[in-house]
Amino acid sequence: MSDLEAKPSTSSSTEPVRVVGPRPPPSFGQIGAVIGIVLIHVGTIVAFTRDFTWKLVALAAATYFVRMFAITGVYHRYFSHRSYKTSRFFQLVLAFLGTTATQKGPLWWASTHRVHHRFSDTERDVHSPMQFGFWQSHMGWWLGREHEHTDFDKIPDFASFPELRWLDRNHAVGPAVMGTALYLIGGLDAFLWGYVVSTCVLMHATFTINSLAHIFGSRRYATTDTSRNNFWLALITLGEGWHNNHHHYMNSVNQGFFWWEIDVSYYALRGMSAVGLVWDLRKPSPQVLKRNLLKEVGEQSPLLLKQAAARAAKQKPELHVPLDMQPDAPPPGIG
């Protein structure tokens, strides 16, 4: 069983766990991340106070979609799950494109994501909304010191490429190049809409998969985590909203398993495969599609089973019998 396919381990694991005790002072990286997030939000507000044109909105939409693909089609489906193959050169091109999304480097992103699959919805899953609540799963974990550095042990397959290690260390180069190019070509408004507004929306849309796709939606497969399929999240994230499908079979290049499950990143990868840029796209077999269906095997997620049991216990109608009607009750006025 490969690292990617490993099941959630138990407490005997050597994984680092969150440290209990007094918090250490914030690190340089954490302070930088907070400042970056604040600037992106302030810049977004500033963009809306200036002249508004549909051209600028179209620019923001274009840079959003290209970079959402770079996160879902590249950081996630390639670097985290190896769901297709490509050349060493094009791998670097894709990795550089991924850095422009401003979600750190490809090795950091993928190694952190592999931990999510390995420990989904346990206390070792740093962005489980079931364990830590909405805000921690949406953004709070991003600022945690324990997730600051790339764990190369989790991603030895790609960490062996020195150019990827360089890009991972210098992931700020991509956003800097993109921001400068937009400013030089279209001025301040092009920078604000093409980079700042677009990055702000991109960041929150990506984070919804950690926060909302484990809470809202339906479950087709009886995975042990709480993942769900959500059409609206799939639309805004180019296919990532089919998150229950993904947790069922994480190495699939398509996360929409059926034709009606819209998965734009998959369509883009199909197009790239047609012209020979990528190949060996991994798809689930018919057996995988039919395996472990929730309607056949029942719920298997310990957390959801616990939740359902708690709900049932609360909703159980109390059969209240007035004291004077109980068989053993003493006659009124005595005792």
- The site for Zn ion, by CB under 5 A, has a size of 1
Question: Which of the ranges 54-62, 97-105, 226-234, 255-263 carries the binding residues for Zn ion, by CB under 5 A?
Answer: 226-234
Is 39 strand, coil or helix?
helix
The C-alpha atoms of residue 141 and residue 89 are separated, in whole angstroms, by 32
CB 120 within 8 A of CB 11: no
Q: Give exposure, 172-181, as e/b (b: 16+ Cβ within 10 Å).
A: eebbeebbee
Is 279 strand, coil or helix?
strand
CB 229 within 8 A of CB 220: yes
Q: Which CB sits closer to Zn ion, 211 or 227?
A: 227
Question: Which of the ranges 43-51, 93-101, 225-233, 277-285 carries the binding residues for Zn ion, by CB under 5 A?
Answer: 225-233
Is 329 strand, coil or helix?
coil
Q: How far is the CB of 113 from Zn ion (least distance, A)?
A: 5
Q: How far is the CB of 76 from Zn ion (least distance, A)?
A: 6
CB 166 within 8 A of CB 68: no
Q: Which CB sits closer to Zn ion, 40 or 115?
A: 115
Q: Which CB sits closer to Zn ion, 227 or 245?
A: 227
Q: How far is the CB of 106 from Zn ion (least distance, A)?
A: 14
Q: Which CB sits closer to Zn ion, 67 or 228?
A: 228
CB 230 within 8 A of CB 243: yes
Q: How far is the CB of 208 from Zn ion (least distance, A)?
A: 11
Which long-range CB contacts under 8 A does 287-291 form with residues at least 24 apart? 288/248, 288/249, 289/257, 291/221, 291/248
Q: How far is the CB of 247 from Zn ion (least distance, A)?
A: 6
Question: Which of the ranges 30-38, 157-165, 188-196, 221-229 carries the binding residues for Zn ion, by CB under 5 A?
Answer: 221-229
Q: Which CB sits closer to Zn ion, 63 or 227?
A: 227
Q: Within positions 136 to 175, which residues make up the interface with Zn ion, using CB under 5 A? A: none
Q: Enumerate the H helices of the chain as residue ranges.
A: 28-49, 54-69, 88-99, 106-118, 129-132, 134-138, 156-159, 162-169, 173-191, 198-211, 231-236, 243-248, 264-274, 286-290, 294-297, 302-315
Q: Which CB sits closer to Zn ion, 44 or 252?
A: 252
Q: Which CB sits closer to Zn ion, 198 or 210?
A: 210
Q: Which CB sits closer to Zn ion, 175 or 217?
A: 217
A 10 A CB-CB count for 87 gives 12
Q: How far is the CB of 9 from Zn ion (least distance, A)?
A: 17
Using Cβ positions, the residue closest to Zn ion within the complex turns out to be 227
Q: What is the torsion angle, in degrees rounded to the nearest 10, for the CA atoms of residue 256, residue 260, residue 265 and residue 271?
A: 120
Q: How far is the CB of 272 from Zn ion (least distance, A)?
A: 20
Q: How far is the CB of 38 from Zn ion (least distance, A)?
A: 27
Instruction: State the residues that interact with Zn ion by CB under 5 A.
Output: 227
